[in-house]
Structure 1
Amino acid sequence: MTIDPNADRPVYKQLADLIRARIESGEYRPGQRLPAENHYVAEYGISRDSVRRAIAVLRGEGLIVTKLRGSRVREAGDADTISIAPGTQVTARMPTEPERKQLGIAEGVPILVITETHGETRKLPADRAIIEASTEASTDRAG
């Protein structure tokens, strides 16, 4: 895999594509730390800024998380199954910063907003929720 600096697609997007492909193929596994920025700079002959922009793209997609000591492939948490009754509305959106912190979700992960027919609203991380349609009253089997 190579990066073409003369291509129509920006270098940072090409690098994001390469890293994404490695994640999707399993070469980079959940929880595995990604190589340091210097590795990509040396391997592909690109700028540190391009590497940082590529990492930001992947973080925004929710594929990786970045902490003090580098970036890692995001691990899929155990999903909770939520039963919803007929008439319940489910919408998806990006969370606000306080919602993201409250729910403990990585940057780039959307939330599901579940509004019951009686008006109660719940917010759940989209990467850890399974929505199950029910013909009975709404229950939350996850707890």
Structure 2
Amino acid sequence: MTIDPSADRPVYKQLADLIRARIQSGEYRPGQRLPAENDFVAEYGISRDSVRRAMAVLRGEGLIVTELRGSRVREVGEAVTVSISPGTQVAARMPTEPERKQLGIAEGVPILIITEPDGETRKLPADRTIIEASKEQQG
């Protein structure tokens, strides 16, 4: 896959598409470090700013995590199955920074707010939560 500077689609979005495809195909595996910014600059002949913008797009999608030593493919934690009963409300939103740290989730990953009929509320990472609805008992 190549990047075409003369295309209608911005260069940074083309790079994000390329990296996303490599993550989805398994070429870049969870936990694997991505090439350095300079490597992308040299390989595709694009600006450092374009690489940084592409990484920001992928962070916003929750696909990568950027740390002091560079970016890596985000590892998805083990899924949790949550049973909900009739009357339970489920909403999704982006977490606050403290919620993100508390739940250990990457930037760009939403949280689920599960509110039980009694008012009890739980916050869970959306990328690791499976919701199982129980059927209402018939009398």
Structure 1's unaligned 5+ residue stretches are 137-143
Alpha-carbon distance in structure 1 between the residues aligned to 2:102 and 2:74: 18
* Cα deviation, residue 45, structure 1: 0.3
TM (normalized to structure 2)?
0.95
Stretch of structure 1 that moved more, 43-52 or 67-76: 67-76
Alignment of 1:1-143 (within 5 A): 1-135=1-135
Q: Secondary structure at the match of 2:132?
A: strand
Alpha-carbon distance in structure 1 between the residues aligned to 2:69 and 2:81: 33
* Cα deviation, residue 135, structure 1: 3.4
Q: Which runs of 4+ in 1 moved over 2 A?
A: none
Alpha-carbon distance in structure 2 between the residues aligned to 1:39 and 1:49: 13
Q: Secondary structure at the match of 2:92?
A: strand
Q: Secondary structure at the match of 1:135?
A: coil
Q: Identity rate of aligned residues, in percent?
A: 88
Q: Secondary structure at the match of 2:28?
A: coil
Q: Secondary structure at the match of 2:66?
A: strand
Q: For this pair of structures, how many residues does the alignment match?
A: 136
Report the residue type matching 2:102 in the other structure: Q
Q: Secondary structure at the match of 1:78?
A: coil
The one-character-per-residue Cα deviations of 1:71-129 (angstroms, maximum 9, x if unpaired) are 11111110111111011111111111111111111100000000111111110001111
Q: Secondary structure at the match of 2:95?
A: coil
Structure 2's unaligned 5+ residue stretches are none
Report the residue type matching 1:115 in the other structure: T
Aligned to 1:139: none
Alpha-carbon distance in structure 1 between the residues aligned to 2:23 and 2:103: 25
RMSD, aligned α-carbons: 1.0
